[in-house]
Structure 1
Amino acid sequence: MKKYQKIMTLGFSVLSMAVSYGCKNEPKKEKQILLAKRVEPSNKSNKRTVKIALLLDTSNSMDGLINQAKSQLWDIVNEFTRAKCGNETRPELEIALYQYGNDALSYREGYIQQVLNFSNDLDEISEKLFSLTTNGGEEYCGEVIQTSLKQLEWGKDPDNLRMIFIAGNEPFTQGRLHYKDALTNAKEHDVIVNTIFCGNYELGIETQWKKGAQLTGGEYMAIDHNREVVHINTPYDDIIIKLNSRLNKTYISYGARASEYEENQASQDENAMSVGYGVAIKRAVSKSSRLYNNKSWDLVDASADADFELKEMDRKSLPEELKGKSDEEIISYVEEKRKERERIQAEIAELNSKRERYIRENQKENTQGELESAMLKAIKKQAAQKNYTWD
């Protein structure tokens, strides 16, 4: 069966993928600094959104897939930072995560669990991926698809892209609910189901994984989930890692859970490093992108939100260095941190361009991950139907 820890990382990868379809030109609003109370992410958005649900088999034999997910999550996120609509509007990304086929889960629930609802918090997505563990079990593909359709808020906007990626290596036909019923429901809700069989391509066809994808116009993919991606060292790696440490110091945490979020940011840096030096570098690159936004706990990101206004300030929610300061002093401090962050992010982006060029010139074979490659191929093909392109 499958070892679970590796698949979770992917979710982000994809996680990187839940990108939003902002295909319309939007009027610019005057931005003010929000310094009142802790801001929870708004459920409303004027942009189009790509919603991706990752359904990962966490039974015993899936360790390789989980490892790929952990190592390739940030590759997917970084690729999505280049997505755009015809009018240059950049999309947003939301990712949800489910695990299935694990004996530790409830039999009554079909050995299925929602690990994460739709989220654009990249640290949270990474955290949930790294929390996965594997255990033997029964893999019910139809039931986990149906469960995700019922539990998640997919929305009805016809311009949004809604996708499911389900990965596993047991027959697609197992379970009490026939997979065709679940896929019919998905099609009715304009949700595309893409299937990733971990094993031989022809075996995946024989066990109905290809048929499962075809019923909603999705892609069928077979991957070698045990393949390891080799990191190519470049002259820019150490510099990017050092810049990442400086980047973390530009965050101004606030709110009741400020320390928790700040600690999780550091924890996910450590998780990425535990998988490999190359993964830590790719996460640092993601943190320099537009998709890494922490307005729910960071004053710099919060102050850049067009919906935020500087009104009554909840002084108790501010960090110690800002307590007792005037509005002007707080604004000045936040702007100073913003400028510092922008300089660091720009430097990381420039170094990463050189790093990617170095890799292209020195790689002896394709170093792209199996899971990453499969997902991005499907995403780009289906996103093209919504007028999305890539830089």
Structure 2
Amino acid sequence: MRRLRPLLFWTHLMAGLLSGVVVLIMSVTGVLLTYQKQMTLWADLRGVQAGPPTPGATRLSADSLLRLVASRESKTPTTVVWRQGAAMPVEVQFGRAGRQYLNAYTGTVVGTGSASMRKLFSVATDWHRWLATSDESRKTGRLVTGWSNLAFLVLVLTGIVLWWPRVVKWSALRQVLWFRRGLSPKARDFNWHNVIGIWSAIPLAIIVASAAVISFPWASDLVYRAVGDTPPARAPEGAPVGGAAAGRPALGTEGGAVVPLVGDVAALATERMPDWRTVSLAWPKNAEAPLVYTLDRGMGGEPHKRATLTVSRTGEPAKWQPFSSQSEGRRARSIMRFAHTGEVLGFWGQTLAGLVSLGAAVLVYTGLYLSLRRFLAWRRRANTVPAATTA
């Protein structure tokens, strides 16, 4: 252990110096993105009046609602979202072209979303994922954040070992388990670095490891193989990806006729998932394509609370696919994806992830300052020795 500890220390130090600035950026932006979904929806619906116009009014069927949209829009929708609640509007998304919130009873447009809130989170996401690079440079930015994230994982794992006191006594553990007052700046940074590091080590390791699964295909494949599953095939690099309106007909039309949709979406959802919160319909590619609904009884980032319902246009029985019906590899991959944001555990998981991201920012700050002080002390010693020898 005496020989291993110096090796781990220098590995920890070098990984921190190489990745510190990038990790700091990802940590700060991670804090900003903690409640992205909740804040965006709040900003979108703030001041929106979408309740029934008169007592006892009934909602429009999906067919009637989308026919109204088709009569006034030329843009092609990508997704339609119904939310539980008598006063909740229906959201019609148009990919990058924006969205509209419709009164479910009248079909009138009651909102188009908060452009400023979405811009804020878009900028934070750009920095978090690829350091605000654009176009072709994003591939490089993504590699930098991905490898910096792996270096951060090394920091977390080596930090756990380095934190452990050489002599395991309560008096020694107490020094690094909680914040202490009245310390010099150097001792304070060391204390903060240790305390925050040990209390956040486990959730931080999960968040950082799950980020690798998002950043690198080989890490994603590793999740599948770890549970004995075969990774899914990927499209060749550079192959076109279906975008917002790729391969889809113009809004509400298929050869001039309105694309038929299921009328009572709420009843359809309630039959399968009584406690549903949202139902999302992916706009079909043509009049024969099945209708694919995603039912969610969670907050949007809890894959175990989602299910897919596929309704055939040919009269075949509907296909119901809850989370439990997926392969082990796909379930594990989905959990890892939302473990990164903490959403897999709902609101409290998000909160924990946000606090840990804030702690990570402090860890980087204190770590860099401790390294700088170590370097300055080394320079002073190096300058002192020649002077003493000359004298």
Q: Which TM-score band (shorter chain)?
A: under 0.3
Structure with bigger gyration radius:
2
TM-score (structure 1 length as normaliser): 0.24
**Which structure carries more helix by proportion?**
2
